[in-house]
Structure 1
Amino acid sequence: MDAISTRVGQATLYLVFAMMAILLLSSIARTVFNYPLLWAVESAQFTMSAYYMLGGAFSMLLHSHVRMDVFYGRWTTRKRGVMDSVTSLFLLFYLGVLLYGGISSTAYSIEYGQRNYSAWAPLMWPIKVIMVAGIALMLLQAVAMFFKDLAQALGKELS
């Protein structure tokens, strides 16, 4: 799972540049040519959504998520492993519920051809599929992290 998260995360990093290119094109079109692009802002939003949803598992792998370090930094490695194992269970529950809702919403979007309420009115299912894929990757990475944390709590080390 770590290898998949790394590959997807490294590929996802480039979506920030795609989003910046979309917004730059929109600014040039609006200011230089006086031709606003209806699709630009939503495309940038969809690109950003894909960026943070697909990059979530990689962020977990790198431990670059936010953690309150009031007590955590002073704890032993085993105590950190115990606490991370316990909190991982809550994360797994949350991601499971999120995945269930995401699949349901995506199925609805595909079945009824759901479109966004805007002048451009893009189909919603492509971004919803990407979001469900990102949630699934995060869920699988969370399972992998749980077992690493559990091993750490038991005084063993998994790479």
Structure 2
Amino acid sequence: MMQRYVRLVDRMNRWIGRVVMYGIFVMMGILLWSSISKTFFLPSLWTLEMAQFAMVAYYILGGPYAIQMGSNVRMDLLYGEWSDRRKAQIDAITVLFLITYLVFLLWGGWDSFAYSLRYGGERSPTAWRPYLWPIKAIMLLGIFLMLLQAISELFKDILRLMGHDMGPKDTDEAETHEGTA
């Protein structure tokens, strides 16, 4: 059951992450238009805030893929020398803190999203005044996907401790190894 969950969540977040990574070009296009419009035309009101929204979507929807690929920052002073079993033990403990954090973040995000919808659509206080519920919905989705991925990482660590080959824990090898996950 855990292996099936890991395969499903990893496949979904890998696909989403690989699609979302092209969001950098969306941001570049928005900022390029901003520069062109400020230089040759009337400045656009929407460009800076839209670039910020695109950056939030890029960052939050790419987070689960980064977790999956092991792209997070780690204190490698001791970790690099540990056995795969020891790494799995420590990671299983630390991922519980991440899961707890993400649950609280999801809870608060849901309250903020509901508030945004409840009062006729919360709007940004800028001159453009876009509705905020779409970016809050994207943030909720990203946090939810990160929570699913964190649970997947916990399951991988548990399966490693049970003796299953879940692929290498090393980040350099993980990108090229599909594993049994």
Q: TM-score range by the shorter chain?
A: over 0.9
Q: Kindly report structure 1 stretches of 4+ aligned residues shifted beyond 3 Å.
A: none
Quote the residue 1:9 is aligned against. 17
Query: Structure 1 counterpart of 2:39, which letter?
Result: T
Identify unmatched segments of 5+ residues in structure 2: 1-8, 167-180
SS in 2 for 1:55: helix
Alignment match, 1:89: 96
Amino acid at match of 1:67: R
Alignment partner of 1:99 is 2:106: yes
Q: Within 5 Å, which residues of 2 pair with 1:50-69?
A: 50-69=57-76
Mapped partners of 1:39, 1:15: distance in 2: 17
Give the whole-Å Cα distance in 1 for the aligned partners of 2:66 and 2:50.
Answer: 23
Q: Distance in 2 between matches of 1:157 and 1:105?
A: 41
TM normalised by structure 2 equals: 0.85
Q: How many residue pairs end up in the alignment? A: 158
What is the distance in 1 between the residues matched to 2:22 and 2:97?
31
1:49 aligns with 2:44: no
Matched-pair identity in %: 48
Query: Per-residue CA shift, 1:64-101, capped at 9, x if unaligned?
Result: 11111010001111000000000010000000000000
TM-score relative to the length of structure 1: 0.97
Question: In structure 2, what is the equivalent of residue 150 of structure 1?
Answer: 158
> Gaps spanning 5+ residues in structure 1: where?
none
